[in-house]
Amino acid sequence: MKYYFKYTLFFLSFASFGQKSTEKLSIDLNTVFVTIDEQSYQKLFENSFVKDTLFFCRNQSNTTNEESYSGKYLIGNAATIEFFAPANTTKTGDVFGDVGIEFKTRKINQLNLFQNSKTKVDTVFTQTDSLKIPWYQSMTLDLPSPHFEISLLEYQKEYLTYMGFTDAEINTEMTYDQYNAIVFGGKKYPRKFNSIKELELDVTKQELDYLIKSIEQFGGTLNDSKLELNGLTITYHLANVEKFRIRKITVDLLENVKTKQIKISDNIKIKTKDKTAEILFQYN
């Protein structure tokens, strides 16, 4: 399984997964990742409006106790979109069309509140300044396939301490923005991308069942062909076979921008209008 890079220089967050029926916790969408074709991957950062206005863009490699990998990241004020190119393995994130949706809670030490007999927890370690330290724990339900994953993570105390958080801050509930304010001393985010508001997916029946169970476990609701969870809408379409799973990622922007249609490649384009940007995937 690929563990996706949590950007440590610009906009981190911490999270967990599952919940007791007696307590409803606030959780947020943290990251969406998608594995795209090699040509589109190479062209992601070529457009100046994309990299200088819309998104804080970064190429990043990372090594954990599990593996080493590289990706391209669109980093927002309150979310990250991660892109991978296909690799010669069948691990999650290495196969064309793979998609991952990662949520977070607003306080550490809540992972146990979500754990049950159907969940799996992995601890990921990172090598930092010659120190191997616990980075985060990631919890998932049993996956229907290795190519579609919904997870919740929680950063570990050792890592947050290394990042400079005090014990009081580590144990305080924080939104993404409040967390970033501490990490970056109140510095203003330098682009327009704020957060992810909507995902449109093509999923098989088995994947849909997994998706619904995961979102409902987090406290979300199902209404017709839409799932809602704390400001995020997931619209789904039923597919007969596994295919490229994501049609569209819609993000909200911090400020209005001009109406534009930007061609990233033959398979990906970005549309902007006012305070919204849509990343459209045209593979199917």
pLDDT in tens, the chain (284 residues): 454 444 433 333 333 333 444 356 778 898 999 999 999 999 999 999 999 999 999 998 776 666 677 899 999 989 999 999 999 999 889 999 999 999 988 888 888 888 888 888 888 898 777 788 998 888 898 888 889 999 988 888 998 888 888 899 889 887 777 777 777 777 888 999 999 999 999 999 999 999 999 998 888 899 988 999 989 999 999 999 988 999 999 999 999 999 999 999 999 999 999 999 999 999 97
pLDDT for the residue 19: 42
pLDDT for the residue 43: 97
Beta-carbon contacts of 234 under 8 Å, excluding residues fewer than 6 positions away, are 101, 198, 199, 200, 201, 211, 215, 226, 227, 228
* Cα-based torsion angle of the residue sequence 263, 34, 70, 147 in order, rounded to the nearest 10 degrees: -150
Exposed/middle/buried for 69, CB within 10 Å: 0-12, 13-18, 19+?
A: buried
Beta-carbon contacts of 277 under 8 Å, excluding residues fewer than 6 positions away, are 54, 192, 193, 250, 251, 253, 257, 270, 271
In a domain, 178, yes or no: yes
In a domain, 9, yes or no: no
Residue with tokens 């007791």: 20
Q: What is the pTM of this model?
A: 0.88
In a domain, 22, yes or no: no
In a domain, 142, yes or no: yes
**How far is residue 104 from each of residues 10, 168, 229, measured CA to CA in Å?**
17, 19, 12
pLDDT for the residue 207: 95
In a domain, 7, yes or no: no
Q: What's the number of domains the chain is made of? A: 1
In a domain, 177, yes or no: yes
DSSP state of 79: -
Range of the domain at 191: 27-281
AA letter at 26: S
Residue with tokens 């090594």: 63
State the DSSP H helix or E strand holding residue 208, giving kind and residue range, or none if neither: helix 205-217
3-state SS assignment for residue 18: coil
In a domain, 200, yes or no: yes
In a domain, 208, yes or no: yes
